[in-house]
Structure 1
Amino acid sequence: MNKQTFRYTGHASSVIYRLIDLLILAAVFVVGVKLYDVTLNSKYALLLCAYLVCYSYLAESVQLYRSWRVGRFSRMLALLALVHTLAFLLVLAALFVFKQSEAFSRAVLVGWFVGSICTLVLWRCCAKMVKTVQRRRGLAMQKVAIIGATDSGFNLFREISNHPELGFECIGFFDDRAVERLPQGVQSHLCGGFNQAVELARSGELVKLYICLPMLAEQRVAQMITELGDTTVDVLLVPDFLMKNLMHGRIGNVGDVDTISVFESPGFGIQNFYKRSFDLAFSFTVLVAISPLLLCIALAVKLTSKGPVLFKQDRYGLDGRRIGVYKFRSMRTMDNGGKVVQATRNDSRITPVGAFLRRTSLDELPQFFNVLMGEMSVVGPRPHAVAHNEEYRKQVAFYMLRHKMRPGITGWAQINGWRGETDTLEKMEMRVKFDLDYIRNWSLLFDIKIILNTLIKGFVNKNAY
């Protein structure tokens, strides 16, 4: 895989939005208490904390902090008002249920509610104005391209060009037809054929590719989707007629132009929030509980063979970004180059302690630190060595889509027996099949089911050498 550029700044921006919102809500609350000359005691502090927790969960539930560069600002403000109002009403309901409402000033609560929503809306309007100016100057732009110089493609191009505040920079069209067959006005924006688009996607130059071909060209579209499955670019279909009632794909829009997602990470909004919250809580609890075991394993590795206790191997993480995955060293060699030989039965490189660690999967335990750092998840597609990725992405269809979700310590494929050495192509195909099935059907309950199955039957496996 060619070196990827860091494409997404939305995560950092959403964190800033969350922090500013919470600061505004807390600041307006404190100001209201001071203005009405009320003592800021522990009950008021507890009320504020309860509200902030309630607000945060509701905000994630409606994806308030997702990127709005392809949404509508007015809808974001409506969701903001809805979340603030619901959180406020839930807190009031709790006060009445526990008969604590008399302990609080009604003037403070009403003033806080009105003042908070006004301040939140005001700062978002200011932020939007700043972003609009930035994007009109060409800053914080995402590079996108259009496959198919069709009417729907030209409408999309015009929408992006006329609305720089969306934050997209469309580099042009990719079409395999002869120039003379293309509509007038498109030729000057032609960047090449479909193969050139695939190469740009593989190199990380593009964030999104919009396929604007007629739905009748399903074979050609299917071929394109298959080839783009070897990249980590977001692929979206732009239908040439309204398809909201015909397809189950997630519908999005760029201005007034509808799009249908084909390849996008399933982890966004409340889903990503719940999964990440679960990962943090679970991994921290496990690390605290097994800390004596980790110390014993570290001593056993250090005392029985020469070399470091931990082995850090390069793998591909979310969106194909390279990460370093930690394991207890189980071999005398530490392969991490362009060619990595998989462990086999009776492999001479494996130490006696390492053989036990690998059979019981105890060598994987340090990866909980990768989870805490946000590089991995407790459950997800297992990360493969870089050399194995480069080998199998050319042989297994949609192999690279495994990277649309954070890699996991355990996974759906592993508990179904597809772990260990992949000495045949069929074994890798089955592993990828289960990985993609997991990504398509992810839920928090699915993660818990996989963890429970791992505890029951996933640690010791006959295929783990």
Structure 2
Amino acid sequence: MDYKRGRYSWLLRPILIIYDLFVINIFAFYLLSFNEENLYFFSKSFLNDKNLLYVLYSTFFWLLSTFFLKFYEVYRYTSIFNILTLLIKQFLVYSIIVFAFIGVFRSINLQAFTVLEYIFYSFTAIASIKILSFYILKSVRSFLKGNLRYVVIIGSGESIYDLKNILSKKELGYNIEAVFSNSSQENLTGDIKASFKFLENNQHIDEIYCAIDELSEKQVNEYVKYANINHCNIKFVPNTLKLYTKRLNTDYYNYLPVLSIQEAALNNDFNKFLKRAFDVLFSLFIILFILSWLSILLFILIKLESKGPLFYRHKRNGINYKEFYCYKYRSLSVTKEIKGTYVKQNDSRVTKIGKFLRKTSIDELPQFINVLKGEMSVVGPRPHMLSYTDDYSKKIDKYNFIFRHHVKPGITGLAQIKGYRGEVEKDTDIINRIKYDNFYIENWSLLLDVKIIIQTLLNIIKGEEKAY
């Protein structure tokens, strides 16, 4: 997701949309002559104005076509060639839309030349303002030092060298505030460790560019967390010899690919609302009708066997690597988490009641409290121990691993119902877990969540091999 702080250029897009809609409809009013008699059959009572139908039609299909063609997605690094390409595509698509309208209402008597004249004048007006605004912004950045974005670059190498040359162009409006690397190259602000202190003291930074292949997973996590908390954009500059996964957006600054975390489908506003509403209702049902009496019963049984609290909490990585305390019913005789230690089969730390809780997955039920707090979701990738996040990242492609942490973790998930839960015994366990997690993120639907929940319940009834 792109953050824009303290800038007014974001207003340009809605202004251009309103202007374009005004142009296509005002030109239609003056250049296209719709015969009211011919539209009479459509709705005499509803269409009092002969142009109303076309206004509704053109507005809807203009917005729809520009959305799919990404007509308004023009950025400071977009080339004029790309803008001209967008104009031509939109010109052709909108021409089809106009002629389709005339084709539906065959009795409308309009000459093809008149329609082409309307399209030509409309797009001349639209293209002129679009190109003019593009060059005006370039001039503002070059000569007035306005519309600037402040950036920090992390890393070194050929890709970073090319990036610095591109961002140094005045018309793009980037101001490189600092460059950090552990290499011995010249003109560095400091090493990577120093970058974290710099970012804490300079919270006006708009974008962070990271040479991801030179950073450890822990360092990438820290930058992602900083960007999320401070609402700045984080971009990844890969080794130019690598292939790029579709799980990250690829933008090209001239010839240089720059990657940013793709906005997951379930993180768009509507899907987020839908999933959150489901999470709240489902977790409230479990807390009120199951946890309310089950917690009292388990408190007595757990206390009778071993000392310690009813609940056990442990730190996990959540969305954007944000740390949170994940709750469970205590199933171990120890109350302190041992770093990087999963419970193994026949583990001596597991109590008698704990074996039952773990076998039936009842120990996971308190995580519905995490769901209600907004730290977790009912369905999603399972959260890992902090130490395991570091270890697993060395075995998994960084691009795939980062994408997994771009959504809320879940109580259950696709990987879990496929058998990849609990202890990781071999590398294929974690590789397949990430594969299923990312498949879930890319193909999310509320129906898929319901299917996973039902399959989880069936697995609990049947018993699972790795539930220990």
TM range (shorter): 0.5 to 0.7
Structure 2 counterpart of 1:237, which letter? D
- 2:392 is aligned to 392
TM-score between both structures, scaled by the size of structure 1: 0.55
- 1:361 is aligned to 361
What's the CA shift for 1:212? 8.8
Q: CA RMSD in A?
A: 4.7
- 2:64 is aligned to none
What's the CA shift for 1:177? 6.8
- Which moves more between the two structures, 166-175 or 394-403? 166-175
- 1:345 is aligned to 345
**Does residue 86 of structure 2 align to residue 72 of structure 1?**
no
What's the CA shift for 1:74? 4.3
- 2:263 is aligned to 264
Residues in 2 aligned to 1:420 and 1:356: alpha-carbon distance in whole angstroms: 15
Cα distance 1:165–1:74, how it changes in 2: closer, same or farther (>3 A)?
A: farther
Residues in 1 aligned to 2:305 and 2:411: alpha-carbon distance in whole angstroms: 26
Structure 2 counterpart of 1:208, which letter? N
What's the CA shift for 1:428? 1.0
Residues in 1 aligned to 2:282 and 2:366: alpha-carbon distance in whole angstroms: 14
Residues 411-430 of structure 1, C-alpha deviations (whole Å, 9 max, x = no match): 11111111121111111111
Residues in 2 aligned to 1:160 and 1:345: alpha-carbon distance in whole angstroms: 66
Residues 18-37 of structure 1, C-alpha deviations (whole Å, 9 max, x = no match): xxxxxxxxxxxxxxxxxxxx
Cα distance 1:278–1:76, how it changes in 2: closer, same or farther (>3 A)?
A: farther
What's the CA shift for 1:449? 0.8
Residues in 1 aligned to 2:270 and 2:234: alpha-carbon distance in whole angstroms: 25
Percent identity, aligned pairs only?
Answer: 31
Cα distance 1:189–1:380, how it changes in 2: closer, same or farther (>3 A)?
A: same
SS of residue in 2 equivalent to 1:349:
coil
Residues in 2 aligned to 1:159 and 1:409: alpha-carbon distance in whole angstroms: 52
Residues in 2 aligned to 1:160 and 1:296: alpha-carbon distance in whole angstroms: 69
On the 8 A contact 1:147/1:210 being kept in 2, the answer is no
What's the CA shift for 1:340? 2.5
Structure 2 counterpart of 1:358, which letter? R
Cα distance 1:181–1:352, how it changes in 2: closer, same or farther (>3 A)?
A: closer
- 1:176 is aligned to 159
What's the CA shift for 1:264? 2.7
- 2:327 is aligned to 326
Residues in 2 aligned to 1:350 and 1:334: alpha-carbon distance in whole angstroms: 11
Cα distance 1:160–1:393, how it changes in 2: closer, same or farther (>3 A)?
A: farther
Residues in 2 aligned to 1:180 and 1:365: alpha-carbon distance in whole angstroms: 48
On the 8 A contact 2:251/2:259 being kept in 1, the answer is yes
Residues 216-262 of structure 1, C-alpha deviations (whole Å, 9 max, x = no match): xxx82745769xx9xxxx85524769xxxxxxxxxxxxxxxxx9965
Report runs of 4+ in structure 1 exceeding 6 Å deviation: 7-10, 75-78, 146-149, 162-167
What's the CA shift for 1:159? 9.8
On the 8 A contact 1:331/1:351 being kept in 2, the answer is yes
SS of residue in 2 equivalent to 1:356:
helix
Residues in 1 aligned to 2:367 and 2:139: alpha-carbon distance in whole angstroms: 45
- 1:415 is aligned to 417
On the 8 A contact 1:161/1:170 being kept in 2, the answer is no
Residues in 1 aligned to 2:341 and 2:166: alpha-carbon distance in whole angstroms: 52
Residues in 1 aligned to 2:418 and 2:342: alpha-carbon distance in whole angstroms: 20
Residues in 2 aligned to 1:208 and 1:336: alpha-carbon distance in whole angstroms: 34
TM-score between both structures, scaled by the size of structure 2: 0.54
What's the CA shift for 1:351? 0.5
SS of residue in 2 equivalent to 1:382:
coil
Cα distance 1:179–1:390, how it changes in 2: closer, same or farther (>3 A)?
A: closer
What's the CA shift for 1:263? 2.7
- 1:208 is aligned to 233
Residues in 2 aligned to 1:389 and 1:172: alpha-carbon distance in whole angstroms: 25
Q: Which has the larger radius of gyration?
A: 2
After TM superposition, list the pairs within 5 Å mapping 1:175-194 onto structure 2: 176=159, 182=165, 185-186=168-169
What's the CA shift for 1:396? 1.5
Residues in 1 aligned to 2:430 and 2:274: alpha-carbon distance in whole angstroms: 30
SS of residue in 2 equivalent to 1:326:
strand
On the 8 A contact 1:69/1:165 being kept in 2, the answer is no
- 2:240 is aligned to 220
- 2:452 is aligned to 450
After TM superposition, list the pairs within 5 Å mapping 1:51-450 onto structure 2: 72-74=13-15, 169-171=150-152, 176=159, 182=165, 185-186=168-169, 196=211, 199=215, 201-204=220-223, 205-206=226-227, 207-210=232-235, 220=240, 222-223=242-243, 236-238=250-252, 263-266=262-265, 267-290=267-290, 291-336=292-337, 339-397=339-397, 398-450=400-452
SS of residue in 2 equivalent to 1:220:
coil
On the 8 A contact 1:147/1:212 being kept in 2, the answer is no
Structure 1 counterpart of 2:13, which letter? R
Residues in 2 aligned to 1:73 and 1:443: alpha-carbon distance in whole angstroms: 30
On the 8 A contact 1:382/1:407 being kept in 2, the answer is yes
Unaligned runs of 5+ in 1: 1-6, 11-67, 79-145, 214-218, 242-258
- Which moves more between the two structures, 164-173 or 269-278? 164-173
Residues in 2 aligned to 1:184 and 1:321: alpha-carbon distance in whole angstroms: 30
Aligned length: 305
On the 8 A contact 2:317/2:384 being kept in 1, the answer is yes
On the 8 A contact 1:160/1:169 being kept in 2, the answer is no
Cα distance 1:182–1:76, how it changes in 2: closer, same or farther (>3 A)?
A: closer
Residues in 2 aligned to 1:304 and 1:220: alpha-carbon distance in whole angstroms: 59
Structure 1 counterpart of 2:451, which letter? K
Structure 1 counterpart of 2:403, which letter? L
- 2:115 is aligned to none
Residues 28-48 of structure 1, C-alpha deviations (whole Å, 9 max, x = no match): xxxxxxxxxxxxxxxxxxxxx
Residues 267-317 of structure 1, C-alpha deviations (whole Å, 9 max, x = no match): 121010000000001110111110222321222112211111110100000
